[in-house]
């Protein structure tokens, strides 16, 4: 099995020689969990301390918000959405991407997903959970958020089912629960591997409990495969509906620049775009931090850069179609809004957004750029910032410059807006750092299959 | 409980070949164990038909129907809000909630179905007593046959499995 001649071409493309045997895959992936004394974790602890501090910042901001109300943010009576909703849309976009990427690549039989799907799905769980916090924080009376749940109550009232807020609530909660199942089921065979490799009794017991007694039976594999592919088939429409609903939060309104039919698909592609940038960042960190160079290779970064390039072209077309419909529709408020975006008070944000999302990604046409991990990571993070700016400018431009000129009002963020944003990033990093120490970050059983010549026959 | 012969192979190819020979030689195959799914093995073992997808469909549709019924009953009968004469049963706006929870309902039904069909969780199994079975989740491959009743037939089967490439053959009951 370890002989290079046995490795199928596809397996050889997505691994380095050091990771081209089943034993090597088991060794590389389980080392951070079982033989973690093999290298120094000082940097991990530093990152942990920093993200813990940022999480504390987030918690302090939330406590202050609950005490003072949303007046601590830059929001005003005209720009009622501000940072919290822009952050929500950005986080849910990242939260969308993991399951979308994983499920779509599974359905398209892209076996290279084996190296990235596990941590992309974990990214989904954490980002979607963080996204779900923002609309609640943005409520005037956050303590009543549970009124979105239909339950028999002494007030004899029911949720307003026609409201986009209800759609959000159910779409996000169903999506998070679905993603947990999708992630966990894919994890069961790997937990069994760790159960069988673990040396300490505690680790063996814990992995054993969560592995549910998996024993690799061919009948079980068959049922597992049926369930996993069916979940992927269900996951793709769920993800698309979730981010379409986020798009509809805007499009179902009657605001210039928002009530556009292109919004749902445009938001879905935007989610995939920003989500992939986050996957690239995490791939680079995991590859370097957990010594996974043999399993997460330059070929993975190259193919992800190609996907970013495609998404960038779609995003550019979407922006152009917004400008075109504003001009062609002839509605003065719409035309005024486009002029305001390009030349108004938020023009710097808008131009930066266009440079990051449309222009910079074009560098990926060059193979040399796609094959440089540093270049791919830097460009993808600029796009990630660009996608955050996109959500921010969507919120700010329309609300600051809607139909009635007498109501025009600008938004300027406060320190709390930024503290909550960076605090949430720290919380995400904290969850991620913990995840890396508890669960295998690369799917071992899928990588083994990728490397098995026999499985190909 | 029935007697089994469990043979250990070094690679997936050895396991597949042994399973094919055993089947053609008329030995009843019980199961195969591998660290990743092997194409063709479920077909050799038989019983590849599964109603899991049907159950997922039924579970999903049931949850979706319940969700829509909740919306319909609460918005039309129990707490109608007349908003400018718009229809109380606003079905286009009502579709998302049943859709999202219906998909989760299907996923949950499938997960329960997966556990039931695989007989999991079962944290202990007689196979785990085999010294070396822990390698099956990593890099070894095992084949389980229903052991023949007569001792001579059993000995033939063991010899035959070893000839087919098995490193070790165990006899156990489950």
Mutate to test the interface with B, among A5, A121, A210, A227 (most CBs of B within 10 A): A227
Residues A346-383 pLDDT 10s: 999 999 999 999 999 999 999 999 999 999 999 999 99
Indicate the range of A32-41, A153-162, A164-173, A234-243 predicted with least confidence. Answer: A32-41
Considering only CB atoms, which chain A residues are within 8 Å of B31?
A: 217-219
B119 Cα to chain A: minimum distance (Å): 9
Q: Do A193 and B12 touch (CB under 8 A)?
A: no
Domain final residue, candidates B118, B136, B165:
B118
Q: Do B39 and A156 touch (CB under 8 A)?
A: no
Indicate the range of A31-45, A137-151, A317-331, A377-391 predicted with least confidence. Answer: A31-45
The band of A456, judged by pLDDT with boundaries at 50, 70 and 90, is: very low
Architecture of the domain delimited by A4-456: Up-down Bundle (1.20)
What is the mean predicted confidence (pLDDT) over A396-409? 89
- Chain B residue nearest residue A245, CA to CA: B96
Please indicate, yes or no, whether residues B43 and B62 belong to a single structural domain of this protein.
Answer: no
Minimum-distance CB partner of B108 among A170, A171, A181: A181
The most confident of the ranges A58-67, A251-260, B18-27 is A58-67
Q: Do A161 and B90 touch (CB under 8 A)?
A: yes
Q: Do B38 and A237 touch (CB under 8 A)?
A: no
Range of the domain at B106: 52-118
3-state SS of chain A is CCCHHHCCHHHHHCCCHHHCCHHHHHHHHHHHHHCHHHCCCHHHHHHHHHHHHHHHHHHHHHHHHHHHCHHHCCCCCCCCCHHHHHHHHHHHHHHHHHHHHHHHHHHCCCHHHHHCHHHHHHHHHHHHHHHHHHHHHCCCCHHHHHHHCCCCCCCCCCCCCCCHHHHHHHHHHHHHHHHHHHHHHHHHHHHHHHHHHCCCHHHHHHHHHHHCCCCCEHHHHHHHHHHHHHHHHHHHHHHHHHHHHHHHHHHCCCCCCCCCCCHHHHHHHHHHHHHHHHHHHHHHHHHHHCCCCCCCCHHHHHHHHHHHHHHHHHHHHHHHHHHHHHHHHCCHHHHHHHHHHHHCCCHHHHHHHHHHHHHHHHHHHCHHHHCCHHHHHHHHHHHHHHHHHHHHHHHHHHHHCCCCHHHCCCCCCCHHHHHHHHHHHHHHHHHHHHHHHHCCCCCHHHHHHHHCHHHHC
Q: Which chain A residues in 160-219 lie under 8 Å from chain B, judged by CB atoms?
A: 160-162, 166-167, 170-171, 174-175, 177-178, 181-182, 185, 189, 192-193, 195-197, 208-209, 212-219
CB of A445 within 8 Å of any CB in chain B? yes
Domain final residue, candidates B99, B118, B137:
B118
A63 Cβ neighbours under 8 A, 6+ residues apart: none
Considering only CB atoms, which chain A residues are within 8 Å of B123?
A: 208-209, 212-213
How many pairs of residues across A and B have Cβ atoms under 8 Å apart?
194
Please indicate, yes or no, whether residues B75 and B96 belong to a single structural domain of this protein.
Answer: yes
Cα B54 from Cα A236, distance rounded (Å): 19
Please indicate, yes or no, whether residues B57 and B100 belong to a single structural domain of this protein.
Answer: yes
Please indicate, yes or no, whether residues B73 and B100 belong to a single structural domain of this protein.
Answer: yes
Q: Do B113 and A227 touch (CB under 8 A)?
A: yes
Instruction: Tell me: pLDDT of B98 over 70.
Output: yes
pLDDT at A453: 57
pLDDT at A24: 81
Please indicate, yes or no, whether residues B64 and B43 belong to a single structural domain of this protein.
Answer: no
pLDDT at A18: 74
Please indicate, yes or no, whether residues B62 and B102 belong to a single structural domain of this protein.
Answer: yes
Residues A95-130 pLDDT 10s: 888 888 888 888 888 778 888 888 889 999 999 999
Q: Mean pLDDT in chain B? A: 86
Minimum-distance CB partner of A171 among B10, B96, B115: B96
Mutate to test the interface with A, among B31, B118, B126, B145 (most CBs of A within 10 A): B118
- Chain B residue nearest residue A233, CA to CA: B103
Please indicate, yes or no, whether residues B90 and B34 belong to a single structural domain of this protein.
Answer: no
Q: Do B100 and A175 touch (CB under 8 A)?
A: yes
CB of A286 within 8 Å of any CB in chain B? no
Mutate to test the interface with B, among A194, A198, A217 (most CBs of B within 10 A): A217
Count of residues for chain A?
A: 457
Residues A265-297 pLDDT 10s: 999 999 989 999 999 999 999 888 888 888 888
Q: Residue B83 carries which DSSP code? A: S
pLDDT at A6: 59
Contact A193, B137 (CB under 8 A): yes
| Residue-range domain boundaries for chain A | 4-456
Angle between helices A164-197 and A117-137 (to 10 degrees): 140
The band of B5, judged by pLDDT with boundaries at 50, 70 and 90, is: confident
pLDDT at B134: 83
Looking at the 3D structure of chain B, how many domains does it have? 2
Please indicate, yes or no, whether residues B35 and B70 belong to a single structural domain of this protein.
Answer: no
CB of A2 within 8 Å of any CB in chain B? no
């Amino acid at each position: 099995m370890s002989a290079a001649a046995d490795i199928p071409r596809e397996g050889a493309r997505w691994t380095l020689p050091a990771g081209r045997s089943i034993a090597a895959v088991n060794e590389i992936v389980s080392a951070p969990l079982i033989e973690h004394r093999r290298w120094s974790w000082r940097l991990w602890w530093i990152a942990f301390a920093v993200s813990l501090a940022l999480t504390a910042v987030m918690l302090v901001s939330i406590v202050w918000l609950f005490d003072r109300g949303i007046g601590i943010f830059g929001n005003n009576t005209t720009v009622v959405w501000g940072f919290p909703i822009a952050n929500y849309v950005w986080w849910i976009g990242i939260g969308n991407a993991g399951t979308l990427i994983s499920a779509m690549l599974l359905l398209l039989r892209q076996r290279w997903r084996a190296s990235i799907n596990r941590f992309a799905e974990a990214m989904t769980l954490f980002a979607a959970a963080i996204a779900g916090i923002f609309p609640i924080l943005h409520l005037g009376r956050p303590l009543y958020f549970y009124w979105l749940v239909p339950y028999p109550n002494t007030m004899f009232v029911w949720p307003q089912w026609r409201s986009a807020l209800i759609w959000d609530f159910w779409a996000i909660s169903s999506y998070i629960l679905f993603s947990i199942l999708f992630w966990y089921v894919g994890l069961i065979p790997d937990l069994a591997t760790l159960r069988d490799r673990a040396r300490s009794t505690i680790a063996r017991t814990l992995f054993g409990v969560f592995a549910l007694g998996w024993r690799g039976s061919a009948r079980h594999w068959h049922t597992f495969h049926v369930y996993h592919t069916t979940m992927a088939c269900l996951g793709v429409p769920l993800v698309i509906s979730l981010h379409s609903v986020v798009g509809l939060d805007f499009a179902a309104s009657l605001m210039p620049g928002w009530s556009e039919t292109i919004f749902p698909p445009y938001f879905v592609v935007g989610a995939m775009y920003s989500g992939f940038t986050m996957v690239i960042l995490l791939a680079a960190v995991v590859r370097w931090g957990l010594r996974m160079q043999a399993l997460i290779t330059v070929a993975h970064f190259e193919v992800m850069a190609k996907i970013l390039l495609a998404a960038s072209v779609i995003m550019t077309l979407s922006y152009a179609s917004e400008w075109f419909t504003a001009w062609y529709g002839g509605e003065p408020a719409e035309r005024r809004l486009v002029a305001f975006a390009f030349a108004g008070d938020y023009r710097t944000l808008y131009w930066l957004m266009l440079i990051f999302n449309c222009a910079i990604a074009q560098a990926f046409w060059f193979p040399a750029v796609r094959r440089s991990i540093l270049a791919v990571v830097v460009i993808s993070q600029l796009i990630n910032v660009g996608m955050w700016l996109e959500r921010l400018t969507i919120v700010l431009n329309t609300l600051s410059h809607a139909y009635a000129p007498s109501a025009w009002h600008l938004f300027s963020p406060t320190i709390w807006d930024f503290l909550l944003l960076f605090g949430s990033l720290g919380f995400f990093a904290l969850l991620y750092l913990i995840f890396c120490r508890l669960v295998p970050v690369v799917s071992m059983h899928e990588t083994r299959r990728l490397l098995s010549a026999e499985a190909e026959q | 409980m029935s007697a089994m012969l469990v043979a250990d192979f070094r690679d997936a190819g050895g396991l597949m070949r042994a399973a094919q020979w055993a089947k053609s030689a008329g030995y009843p195959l019980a199961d195969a164990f591998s660290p990743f799914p092997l194409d063709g093995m479920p077909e050799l073992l038989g019983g590849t038909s599964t109603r899991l997808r049907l159950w997922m469909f039924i579970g999903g549709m049931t949850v979706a129907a319940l969700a829509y019924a909740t919306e319909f009953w609460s918005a039309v009968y129990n707490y109608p809000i007349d908003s400018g004469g718009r229809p109380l049963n606003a079905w286009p706006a009502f579709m998302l909630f049943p859709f999202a929870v219906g998909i989760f309902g299907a996923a949950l039904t499938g997960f329960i179905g997966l556990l039931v069909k695989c007989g999991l969780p079962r944290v202990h199994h007689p196979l785990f007593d085999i010294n070396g079975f822990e390698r099956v989740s990593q890099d070894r491959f095992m084949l389980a046959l229903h052991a023949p009743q007569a001792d001579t037939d059993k000995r033939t089967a063991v010899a035959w499995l070893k000839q087919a490439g098995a490193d070790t053959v165990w006899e156990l009951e489950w």
